[in-house]
Amino acid sequence: MQSPQRIARELALLSISQLPASPNKLATQQLSQMVTAAIRTLATEIQDTLETASSELKKGNDRLLNSEVRAVDVNSARIMVEDAIKMTQIAINRLGVAVELPEFIQLTNQPEVRSYTMQLISTVQQNRQPIDELLTEVLLNWQLSRITRIDRDILRMAVAEMQYMGQSSAVAINEAVELAKRYSDDEGKRFINGVLRRVSDRLKSDQDIPETLASS
């Protein structure tokens, strides 16, 4: 059975984009509203991902049909089809989550789930700017705005747990990777793992600075 905190992380991930950023408004949210927001997000993500995959597949197919078997056209079409397959796999993963929704909804009724969900969402919302600044610092040749919304929210939640909620880096990173397994793809999972390890190293380095100064 999943722990309340793990269920809370999943609920927070799926509902955070549709809940109010204002702390006062956020505090008034009922559990049913968060679950509704989570279901709406999941349905939208599945639909958008499948539509994008279908579009990429069609473009790849058209390029193959219209090309004169030039290597550059064939290679471009192959990349489009590969991207479509990746996105379809993501959609299939999320459909698998959707099948589990009845059990998920039942598990969210635990008071500990709502409490940790609210704490996690409010921590992310209240500290969005410094969290994003930290992530931007450790991203290598990449922009935070270019990361998919789901992956970006997974990163923000993990940083919030590490930096503001007293969670160990090992646990926060492991839980983020588990979320990525369900809502992202293998590339996203590896990317999230790498970014969060750099965040962990940066936070440890910042904590060591006062001790170094004190001994000098």
Residue-range domains of the chain with CATH: 4-204 (1.10.940.10)
What would the mean pLDDT of 84-92 be, rounded to a whole number? 72
Using CA atoms, how far apart are residues 134 and 23, in angstroms rounded to an integer? 22
- Range with the poorest average pLDDT among 23-32, 49-58, 140-149: 23-32
Distances (CA, A) of 165 to 36, 95, 122, 161: 26, 31, 11, 5
Q: Which residue has the tokens 């926060």?
A: 172
Dmax (CA) for the chain in angstroms is 71
Q: Where are the alpha helices (DSSP H) in 100-185?
A: 101-107, 111-126, 128-138, 149-164, 169-183
Q: What is the mean pLDDT of residues 40-65?
A: 70
SS3 content of the chain, % helix, strand, coil (to 5): 85, 0, 15
- Report the C-alpha gap between 187 and 144 in whole angstroms: 16
pLDDT category at 113 given cuts 50, 70, 90 is confident
Under the banding of pLDDT at 50, 70 and 90, the label for residue 70 is low
